[in-house]
Amino acid sequence: MSDNSHDQAHEAHTGPIKNAKQLVWASIASFVVPVFIIIGLVNYVTSANKEAPGSTDTDKAVAVRIQKIGAVEVRDANRPLKSGEEVYTAQCAACHASGAAGAPKLGDAGAWGPRIKQGLDGLTTSALKGKGAMGAQGGGDFSDIEISRAAAYMANKGGAKFEEPKAPAAAEGEKK
């Protein structure tokens, strides 16, 4: 009886490790598992502070300092000039067809009357430099003469009798 009770008491005090192989594996796991947990936590904590490449303030400041200042645009100087109606359709109709932002509508003699009194040079200057809500049209897709042609076209539809400006070479040829 005492023998039997001793085995039960001895069995109650033993752990899950029964042999040396289990002891070695338990020792390795008790060291390796916490190391991997610590490495994972360190990566998690430090990854929140990292920014994507190219998004740091220093990178942005360098990009601003080395950006292009200007561009060179080569236009075909020998292309035929657009007519006033073509320029109006492409550039001016967006506002002048509907009267958006206070623009005088095409063909509205009452709205164009005071503007026609400025003369074609005054209308062209207003178109090239901008006036009111209209932005400057000079330096865009069309030459200054083409913008002047569009101004003459719109003013003529409003009751003016302006002659459409000629190309510079054609104007010089007529003077001779």
Model pLDDT for residues 39-91, shown as the tens digit of each residue: 999 988 888 766 665 556 788 888 888 887 777 766 666 778 888 788 888 87
Which token pair is 80? 């035929």
> Residue 164's CB: how many other CB atoms inside 10 A?
17
Q: What is the pLDDT of residue 173?
A: 47
SS3 144: helix
| pTM recorded for the entire structure | 0.53
* Domains in the chain: ranges and CATH: 2-47 (no CATH), 84-171 (1.10.760.10)
pLDDT tens profile 116-168: 788 888 888 888 888 877 877 776 777 788 888 888 888 888 777 778 888 77
